[in-house]
Structure formats: C-alpha cells, structure tokens
C-alpha cells in the first residue's frame, strides 16, 4: 500500500468511548497493506483523561462524564462544536517519528487558522496550538507497532465553560479560546473548518486527495 493512500471518514457526532474502541480495533487489526485513515467528527460532552492524567486536574466535572483514554497527555474536554480529527497513520511506513507527526499536526492547524485570519503558534514545551497564549487546539497521540491513532481537536464554535472545570492539559489557569470567540458567531461553519483543515493535513502528511 503506497504511503500516499488514505481513507477519509466523516463520522458526525459520536460518543467518545464508541470511537475509542473503534480506533483501537482498527489499529490492532491493520497490517502493512492497510490504508491510513482520517476520521472527522464531533463528540458528545466528555472529559478524557490521558495516560499521564492526574485526578487532581479534574476540578469539578459535574454532570459531564470522565473517561480514561490510552492517548498521551492529561485531561481535556470534547463537546459539540469542537472539530475532532483522528489520524490513523502508519508512521513507520511514512518514515515519521512521533515528534515529527506532532509537528505536522500543529503546522496544519496553524496554516489553516492563518488562512482565515488567525495568527497562531505552537510551543515546544506544551503540544497544541495557541493564540495569544490561549489554547485553541489540543493534541494527543498513541503509537502501537509503529502506527498512531488519536489526533487533534480544534475549538470551533463550542461552549468553552467546561474547560473551567479542569486544568486543561494539566496546566492550572490555562485559558482556552475558539474560532467563534476570535472571529464572531457568523464567521464559522463546522463544515468549512473541517474541509479547510483536512486540506492542510493531506498536504502536510503527503496524501493523495481521495477521488
């Protein structure tokens, strides 16, 4: 299977645990001939606790469930209005290390945001994408046998209040933002964001656009 081949799935809105199980199953069952896949979706409201997660970073979950995840990192929030992109990529076949994969994801988000007039940056010490010190996109990966899963989430037009119930990504007092907060409620549509970010990811990862 050429490293430029990719399958894209738009999954709509799904519960986190359901998609986590689907990712794990795909990664465990794939082989050297399996095409890489990119899944685009939104999640029902959920806090996810990464492998390094500490309970004290979940301050007041209230009625939002907390689910343990096998991705890297600490706690984060997913909910409606946030674009989630899962990148199921054979890193070994592409000749990529984990740091290089993270850099590609960050750069793709930064390039997309620049195209809609938002200046963003990455931080070496804290994976993710930031605008004026506020986090707008979260990253978390897991690698098994040279193949990664999980990916990124970009705050588009969501309720940001749940982030106040946690220390986002383990950082006390870290502020978050969204495209809607920065550009106004009439400036964003999830479908347009999804299409634009996907194009940057395909370019960054060297995929041929599926016909």
Where in the sequence numbering do the catalytic residues fall? Answer: 169
DSSP 32-69: TTPPEEEEEEEE-SEEEE-TT--GGGB---TTS-EEE-
Query: Which whole-number Å values give the CA distances from 184 to 17, 84, 97, 117, 178, in the listed order?
Result: 32, 21, 37, 12, 10
Angle between helices 98-115 and 190-205 (to 10 degrees): 140
SS3 157: coil
Task: Name every residue whose Cβ is closer than 8 Å to that of residue 182 and which is 6 or more positions away in sequence.
Answer: 118, 131, 136
Distance between CA atoms of residues 132 and 192, nearest Å: 23
């Amino acid at each position: 299977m050429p490293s430029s081949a990719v399958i894209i799935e738009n999954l709509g809105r799904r519960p986190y645990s359901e998609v986590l199980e689907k990712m794990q199953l795909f990664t465990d069952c794939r082989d050297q001939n399996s095409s890489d896949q990119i899944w685009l979706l939104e999640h029902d409201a959920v806090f996810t606790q990464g492998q390094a997660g500490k309970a004290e970073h979940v301050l007041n979950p209230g009625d939002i469930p907390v689910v343990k995840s096998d991705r890297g990192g600490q706690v984060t929030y997913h909910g409606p209005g946030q674009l989630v992109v899962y990148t199921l990529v054979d890193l070994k076949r592409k000749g990529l290390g984990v740091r290089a994969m993270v850099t590609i994801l960050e750069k793709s988000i930064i390039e997309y945001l620049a195209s809609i007039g938002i200046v963003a940056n990455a931080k070496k010490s804290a994976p993710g994408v930031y605008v004026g010190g506020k986090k707008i996109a979260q990253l978390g990966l897991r690698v098994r046998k040279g193949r990664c899963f999980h990916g990124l989430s970009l705050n588009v037009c969501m309720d940001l209040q749940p982030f106040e119930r946690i220390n986002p990504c383990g950082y006390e007092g870290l502020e978050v933002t969204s495209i809607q907060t920065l550009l106004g409620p009439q400036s964003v549509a999830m479908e347009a964001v999804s299409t634009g970010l996907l194009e940057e990811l395909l370019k960054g990862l060297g995929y041929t656009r599926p016909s």
